[in-house]
Amino acid sequence: MSEALIAVFPGDGIGPEVTAQARAVLERCGERFGFPLRFEEAVLGGVAIDATGEPLPQASLDLARQADAVLLGAVGGPKWDDPQSKVRPEQALLALRRELELFANLRPIQIHPRVVDAAPLKREVLEGVDILFVRELTGGVYFGQPSERRQGAAGREAVDTVVYDETEVRRVVDLSFSIARGRRKRVTQVDKANILATSRLWREVTREVAADYSDVAVEDVLVDAMAMHLLRRPADFDVVVTENMFGDILTDEASVLTGSLGMLPSASLGSAENSFAHRAGLYEPIHGSAPDIAGRDLANPLGSIMSAAMLLRHSLGREEAASAVEAAVNAVLDDGLRTADLNQPDTRQVGCAEMGAAVVEKL
Ligand code: IPM
Ligand code: MG
């Protein structure tokens, strides 16, 4: 059996703390299920700027390219926030997504029954919520050119560009339909087609792709309406596919449904010849670097640990281990353990390290 190489980029803020727990979970899975894993760590983001002057040093990019999967913590922090600065930690993330062509960002929104009371919405609204967001990750306004500040006739002006070609749209929409087939067979395409030309292209291409999936229901929803539906009737959605920036915004909103941003994993995938599994990918929690709680053993490692489960599933094809990790997380929550973000009067607060150890213990 060949050894899988996992590149680990702990990054900034709480990144190192949560990533250490996810790595321990992966190591445990390797032992228990008998597959060899090799880990290599490298710098990325603010720590990389400090060490090398660049947010994504060549050595880190090379490591990511060689790896079977990348486990990432978080990037950014006040230390590197100067808006005038030419280098910013976030550039590392964008460059990595782009360089590895990770065009599909999977962000599952599931609600653990024991955590539902920590969410600000009513229990009835949250019952049965199981959404998979597929956010396009390598196009749109994040990468469109020109993107600059300049001197205009009326003074300072700035421009950003939203651009998509049909290939970029088709591959992510097609992946969404193929995933929907294995779920509840519904795809919701979110856009702003009443205003944006790019959105009208998304609609057109979505219709073309849908023709190949007659067993999957499809609808188009405007992004402003979707923002509302997510809070009023979230259980109605199955797979939601959308462009880069709408996906960024809607997934932060959707995270509120689960009670804590700290619980949510993500997988960023590139193309695979014919199957959904076994593709190189980047796995990271949705939460950011949370500098206010960094280094204090307060972070919730479950988003990172659930990301490790996605890594096992999508990049290593280890479904059994992936399900075991998810079951272990549920078991720990059932035992009443909670990090500070989710603690309630009837649960027991634990730190990041203890939460990680509890998951490993269940495995
Ligand atoms: C995310 C983050 C990033 C994004 C930032 C950190 C660049 O918000 O992954 O959702 O906007 O894509
Ligand atoms: Mg975001």
Closest Cα partner for 255 from 96, 120, 80, 89? 120
254 and 215 inside one domain: yes
pLDDT, average across residues 45-56: 96
User: For the segment 101-147, what is each residue's pLDDT rounded down to a tens digit?
Assistant: 999 999 999 887 778 878 888 889 999 999 999 999 999 999 999 99
**End of a domain among 258, 289, 306?**
258
Radius of gyration (Cα) for the chain, nearest Å?
Answer: 20
**End of a domain among 258, 289, 311?**
258
**If you take atom 8 of ligand 1, which residue's CA is the nearest one?**
248
Cα–ligand 2 centroid distance for 138 (angstroms): 14
**Averaged pLDDT of the chain:** 94
Only one residue has tokens 């199981």, namely: 130
Cβ(246)–Cβ(223) below 8 Å: yes
Looking at the CA of residue 245, tell me the nearest atom of ligand 1. Answer: 11
Cα–ligand 1 centroid distance for 227 (angstroms): 18
Cα–ligand 1 centroid distance for 224 (angstroms): 20
Domains in the chain: how many in total?
A: 2
What is the C-alpha separation between 328 and 217, in angstroms, rounded?
Answer: 33
Give ligand 1 pocket residues (Cβ under 6 A): 90, 93, 248
Residue-level pLDDT at 281: 93
pLDDT-derived band of residue 301, with 50, 70 and 90 as boundaries? very high
**If you take atom 6 of ligand 1, which residue's CA is the nearest one?**
90
Model's pTM, two decimal places?
A: 0.93
165 and 103 inside one domain: no
In this prediction, what percent of the chain has a pLDDT beyond 70?
98
CATH of the domain at 45: 3.40.718.10
Looking at the CA of residue 137, tell me the nearest atom of ligand 1. Answer: 12
Beta bridge pairs of residue 71: 8, 283
170 and 251 inside one domain: yes
Cα–ligand 2 centroid distance for 152 (angstroms): 31
279 and 327 inside one domain: yes
Cβ(267)–Cβ(105) below 8 Å: yes
Least confident of 30-39, 113-122, 148-157, 346-355: 113-122
Enumerate residues with CB within 5 Å of ligand 2 (an ion). Answer: 248
150 and 243 inside one domain: yes
- Catalytic annotation, residues: 142, 192, 224, 248, 252
Give me 279's structure tokens. Answer: 């593709």
Looking at the CA of residue 97, tell me the nearest atom of ligand 1. Answer: 12
User: For the segment 253-298, what is each residue's pLDDT rounded down to a tens digit?
Assistant: 999 998 878 889 999 998 764 344 457 799 999 989 999 999 999 9
**If you take atom 9 of ligand 1, which residue's CA is the nearest one?**
286
Looking at the CA of residue 284, tell me the nearest atom of ligand 1. Answer: 9
**End of a domain among 227, 258, 289?**
258
Residue-level pLDDT at 115: 81
Domain, as residue range, for 144: 120-258
